[in-house]
Amino acid sequence: MSDRTLREIAAMTGGVLLAPGGDEAGGSLQAHDGVTRVTDVVTDSRQAEEGSLFVAIVGERTDGHRHVPQAAAAGARAALVSNVEAVRAAMAEAGRDPESLPLVIVPDTVAALGGLARSHLAQLREQASSRGETLSVIAMTGSVGKTTTKDLTRQILAAQAPTVAPVASFNNEIGLPLTVLRADHTTRYLVLEMGASGSGHIAYLTSIAPLDAAAVLMIGHAHMGGFGSVDGVARAKSEIVTGLLPTGVAVLNLDDPRSAAMRELAPGRVLTFSASGDPRADLRASAVELDEQAHAVLDLHLPGARPERLRLGLPGRHNVTNALAAAGLALAAGLDPSQVLQALAGAGLESPHRMDVRECGGVLVIDDSYNANIDSMTAALEALPALAGQRRRVVIISEMLELGSASHADHTRTGELAAAAGAQVLVTIGQGAAPAAQAARAAGVHTIELPDAQAAIELLDGGHSPLRPADAVLIKGSHGSGAWRVADHLTATDKED
């Protein structure tokens, strides 16, 4: 982030600056308080350091105003808050002077964070233009594959110029502004991931960061509880296309009818891609094979270039779609095909819990546990036979959340897919995953039903663990139901080595 004074931050957020010893109207503001500079923005007090601005957010589990003292102790120079009295009470309880830290007071800290990021990006773009340069803002959305596509896009673009991209899946109204605020005057490409759990969410994100290029991967069944139908998901995801600048480029999946239909909403140029090799697509894959490590090997067709044989650096046939989307975004950002090919060939996994395949204590652990819906569950289970080879196969799934009325059917389908993938054992976590166990049991799979992730960890550590030496185990599930905890437990020894 470019250094910002507290006066600038107050102006950019529409807030009131309260200096030490002042009152809520601004009172005894002293000159040096207005020019105090902050060097980064955090919403987690544990990440605060010398020069930070701490944004106090009221969440479901904690109120950030209570953590202002910890941020101050770590070196934060100010806090963005909506409740002054809560801050003062917390500071006093922590044994600190309640009025010792400058505060920027706003009605809503999440909205103010978005406003700060919006102004920051607009200024960076203006400064780049004045130097005869550009700052390209690129984003992707979809029901599956966003983070992998983000990682691949980042690597392709970073091979050419300074690039900023989200950590893990910072793709909502808090994570996206924090990513935007990491950009500075050196940034040439800003890569953003945009998620949604309801209508209007992506429109809000694109209001913060209007886009030069946007990709829609696949419209599926993620967060069905918030959309009501797959068509509702499509309408919400299409907001990324309408959020393009007039000169922006839409990158659309020709294999997905709902994504392809968004061509009508694009303000300008459209690039299409097809993992199935549709000859109508601008980018496509053909002659796709999986090697002995389940990595896709394919002929990559890019516009204006001869097809090139390419091996992807991450496992699973489904990642062909993500690689094509990343290539399309890079072309839309101005790279030429040779640059895209060279960088894509060397790109691999970056974010945790996404098709991370490793040997741990003699067991092949396939960790795809960050999140799950029926589409990503299908992709993971379809990849399992190639990844496992001749190994005995164990599948551990935690409940898929936010599926609404589709929950029973989608979990039932998961059990059927596990059986089709050759699972000898299926372990389910959470009551909502019971239909998966029932369907797998009906297909002859040995099933174990557990109430939570901790019970699964205890089972794996006990004398009746379903895992045997040389097994392959796939771990998949929604983040909130804890599959990642099981994966972390299984890979802990490997991380310590």
Determine if residue 144 is labeled as part of a ligand binding site.
yes
* SS3 of the chain: helix, strand, coil, percent, to 5: 40, 20, 35
Closest CA to 411 of 214, 221, 257, 261: 221
> Distance between CA 404 and CA 482 in Å, rounded?
19
User: Do 387 and 418 touch, CB atoms closer than 8 A?
Assistant: no
For 366, residues 6+ apart whose C-beta sits below 8 A from its C-beta are 355, 356, 357, 380, 383, 384, 387, 388, 472, 473, 474, 475
DSSP, collapsed to helix, strand or coil, labels residue 316 as coil
Determine if residue 476 is labeled as part of a ligand binding site.
no
Determine if residue 147 is labeled as part of a ligand binding site.
yes
Determine if residue 75 is labeled as part of a ligand binding site.
no
> Distance between CA 360 and CA 420 in Å, rounded?
25
DSSP, collapsed to helix, strand or coil, labels residue 4 as strand
Determine if residue 276 is labeled as part of a ligand binding site.
no
Residues in the chain: 497
Determine if residue 145 is labeled as part of a ligand binding site.
yes
C-beta atoms surrounding 444 within 10 Å: 8
For the CA atoms of the chain, what is the radius of gyration?
Answer: 24
For 493, residues 6+ apart whose C-beta sits below 8 A from its C-beta are 360, 361
Closest CA to 443 of 465, 422, 474: 422
Annotated binding-site members for ATP: 142-148
Annotated binding-site members: 142-148
